[in-house]
Structure 1
Amino acid sequence: MYARIAGTGSHLPERVMTNKDLESLVDTSDQWIRERTGIAERRIAAEGETTCDLAEQAARKALDAAGLTGADIDLLIVGTTTPDLVFPSTACLLQHRLGAAECAAFDVNAACSGFIYAMSVADQFIRAGSASKVLVVGAETLTRMLDWNDRGTCVLFGDGAGAAVLVADSEPGILSTHIHANGGYGDLLCTEVGVSTGFKAEERGGVRVSMRGNEVFKVAVNTLGRIVDETLAANQLEKSDLDWLIPHQANLRIIKATAKKLNMSMDQVIVTVDKHGNTSAASVPLALDEAIRSGRVKRGEKLLLEAFGGGFTWGAALVVY
């Protein structure tokens, strides 16, 4: 039994912040940002617009695409690092809005790898026969965690949500998922505010993303190269067997490095980082939905989804769409 993608959806806040807009906030330039990241603009959640608000819109589109309603779902997983509340989970809040009464619902926090982690969990539930229709969402309002005086981080991130409905099917869908973590790198990309640590947000200038960008870049490129090899080997496939790479949209240089590792033309790579920035757990499902709705990705094609995030966490999913 496979977990097959039955429908996808995505949602972005209305407000667009361009690189030119950032020039008035911090010492940076459109050219500097484009050359180093590939980003031209990103979306910013409106005041009062929550992670669950974005997740709901993406989820409803995915359910519509799958021909299902919230009542049909028997498991709901949300990948996010920016939940509305510590508890209830964003998944529980979303469950109530969608009318998916009493199905299991929980959040997964694996930073930018959150959607891949959630997809992996959903795949295991379906393979075990414990669920047959699973809604997986990646949603973030990460701009609420930015220091707008730190040009090393504030230019990178954006808000958004993406979702996929996975259904049990005898036809091939998710062929395999591979997830890993190494907490030894935790201080390279993190926040310094928590509940049990006793650090209050106001004492640290708010909840802020802290990143040592050059070191993160080096580890990310090497790690994603390894997960590509692991995924192909597990499925006895060659690089040439892949039709599409749908990567985490963090940095265009990392995306190009992964494509080079696969000997793939950039014409076979879905790139949205220029329009979305790094939307963390929302990144992969946003790119996946755009690829499907644009008609580029077609049924029967093999997709490699991969992501790398704070933790460090990383993962990949090989999918027959």
Structure 2
Amino acid sequence: MDPAEIRLLAAGTALPGPPIDNAALGRRFGMDALWEQWVDAFIGTRTRHLALDLESGEQRDTLADLGTTAGERALAAAGTDPAAVDLVVLGTATPDTLMPATVNVIADRLGIDDVTTYQLQSGCSGAVQAIDVARQLLSTGRHRTALVLGGDVIAKHYDLTADLRTVPPAELVNYVLFGDAAGAAVLSADPAAGPTAVRASFVQLAGRGRAPGQVLEWFGPVDRHSGRSSAQEDYKAIEETVPLFAEQILHRLLAEAGWREGEVTHLLPPQLSTRMTARIVERLGLSGAEEISCVGETANTGNALVFFQLEQVLPELAPGDRAAAIAVESSKWIKSGFALERV
């Protein structure tokens, strides 16, 4: 089967709890008014949703909780019965447990069984990896309908006792950049199932010789008191590298899809922060394309972001419209993207 005949039918998302603005976050960690000014000037994120209750420290939602809700919504939007799903793929950097795999917990809750499942351990490119894997497997003819999931719960890495006035920038940025969420999409090998075709998708490691831009630790009983930070971000390296990679990804997507720049009607750019996204969009120079962004309201939700963008763009696509989605992972530097066309 031609991979270009794979259809993306619908998307669904899930957010935990109410939105938390920068003022509320600052009050919880004892930051003054300059905190809000700093976040607005350098990050631009206005709100985020957290699976963690900031006052009690209790985790209210797991990735499986959010993934199940997102999966239910995507299946309902696609008009697909869970019994029709024969492939489930999840991309995440923060599974609930090392075992069992969170993808299997979600499948169980959705009533999906006797199917092929995969869980991909990855950062912001994980959702695109999941879409790419599903597309390739559907094109073999062995599978007909795939539920693709992505999401992260980063709040469990928060140290609620931290004095943010003394936290190094590489750690401080994690408190404002990220939010928690999950998303899902339904893909079909039947060209008649829907009008939105996946015209191209790819994932490429680009980290040889590059230091990681992001590190997320796992701690066990042996090293949990090691003193290492659970999450670190080299924001300067990310600022320098992500726009360059985004441009390279766009050129590759256009080449694989056989499109010209002026034919892209919708752009789904990387969503690290609103400030970074604005710089990337300007660099890409697709003046005629509508930008599909959500990071100002959701914050960076990692592997859920692409699905929030899909949820926005799919109802907007008219016959002949073309959308390019770009994601860059900074942990060990991965380029990824996919292209959609409404046929």
Give TM-score, length-normalised by structure 2: 0.86
Structure 1 counterpart of 2:168: none
- Spell out the pairing of 1:192-207 with structure 2 (5 A cutoff): 192-193=217-218, 200-204=223-227
* Contact 1:90-1:106 within 8 A present in 2 as well: no
1:143–1:267 CA distance, 2 compared to 1 (3 A) = farther
Cα offset, 1:290, TM superposition: 3.0
1:239–1:262 contact (8 Å) kept in structure 2: no
**What is the aligned counterpart of 2:328 among 296, 300, 308?**
308
Which residue of 19, 26, 29 corresponds with 2:35?
Answer: 29
* 1:44-70 alpha-carbon deviations (Å, 9 max, x no partner): 014241001000000000000111122
* Alpha-carbon offset, residue 194 of structure 1: 5.5
SS in structure 1 of the partner of residue 156 of structure 2? helix
Q: CA deviation at 1:204?
A: 3.4
- Deviation digits for residues 197-256 of structure 1, max 9, x if unmatched? x962332367x2101101111111111111111111222211111111112321223322
User: One-letter code of the match for 1:236?
Assistant: G
Paired position in structure 1 for 2:215: 190
Given the two structures, how large is their TM-score scaled by the length of structure 1?
0.91
1:100 matched to 2:112: yes
- Deviation per residue, 1:20-50 (Å, 9 max, x gap): 1122216452222122222001000142410
Identity score, percent: 25
Question: Structure 1, residues 138-181: CA drift from partner, whole Å, max 9, x if none?
Answer: 11111212356342221100000111000013366111112112
Structure 2 residue 7 is the aligned partner of structure 1 residue 4: yes
Equivalent of residue 61 in structure 2, options 45, 49, 69 = 49
* Greater C-alpha radius of gyration: 2
Q: Which piece of structure 1 moves more, 165-174 or 66-75?
A: 165-174
Cα 1:299–1:190 change in 2 (3 A) is: farther
Q: How does 1:71-90 map to 2 (within 5 A)?
A: 71-90=83-102
**Count, aligned residues:** 316
Pair 1:234–1:112, CA change in 2 (3 A): same
Runs of 5+ unmatched residues, structure 2: 53-58, 165-170
**SS at 1:86 equivalent:** coil
Asked whether 1:153 is paired with 2:174, we answer yes
- Superposition pairs of residues 171-250 of structure 1, within 5 angstroms: 173-183=197-207, 184-193=209-218, 200-204=223-227, 208-250=230-272
Higher mean C-alpha displacement, 182-191 vs 213-222: 182-191
Residue 271, structure 1, aligned to residue 277, structure 2: no
Q: 1:273 to 1:57 in 2, by over 3 A?
A: same
Q: 1:31 to 1:160 in 2, by over 3 A?
A: same
> CA contact under 8 A between 2:129 and 2:336: conserved in structure 1?
yes
- What does residue 167 of structure 2 align with? none
Give yes or no for contact 1:122–1:134 (8 Å, CA) kept in 2. Answer: yes
Q: Distance in 2 between matches of 1:77 and 1:179?
A: 15
Residue identity matched to 1:193: W
Conserved? CA contact 1:139–1:162, under 8 Å: yes
The answer as to whether partners of 1:259 and 1:266 remain within 8 angstroms in 2 is no
Superposition RMSD on alpha carbons, in Å?
A: 2.1
Query: Is residue 283 from structure 1 mapped to residue 305 from structure 2 by the alignment?
Result: yes
The Cα of 1:298 is off from its aligned counterpart by 4.0
In structure 2, give the amino acid aligned to 1:255: T
Per mean C-alpha deviation after superposition, the further-off stretch among 152-161 and 262-271 is 262-271
Aligned 8 A contact 1:119 1:136 in 2:
yes
Which letter does structure 1 place at the counterpart of 2:47?
E
Which residue identity is paired with 1:160?
A: A
CA contact 1:193–1:199 (8 Å) conserved in 2: no
CA distance in 2, matches of 1:213, 1:266: 30
CA separation in 1, counterparts of 2:150 and 2:211?
A: 21
Q: 1:240 to 1:211 in 2, by over 3 A?
A: same
Give secondary structure in 2 for the equivalent of 1:185: coil
Match of 2:55 in 1: none
Structure 2 vs 1, CA of residues 160 and 39 (structure 1 numbering), >3 Å: closer, same or farther?
Answer: same
Q: What is the distance in 2 between the residues matched to 1:98 and 1:188?
A: 35
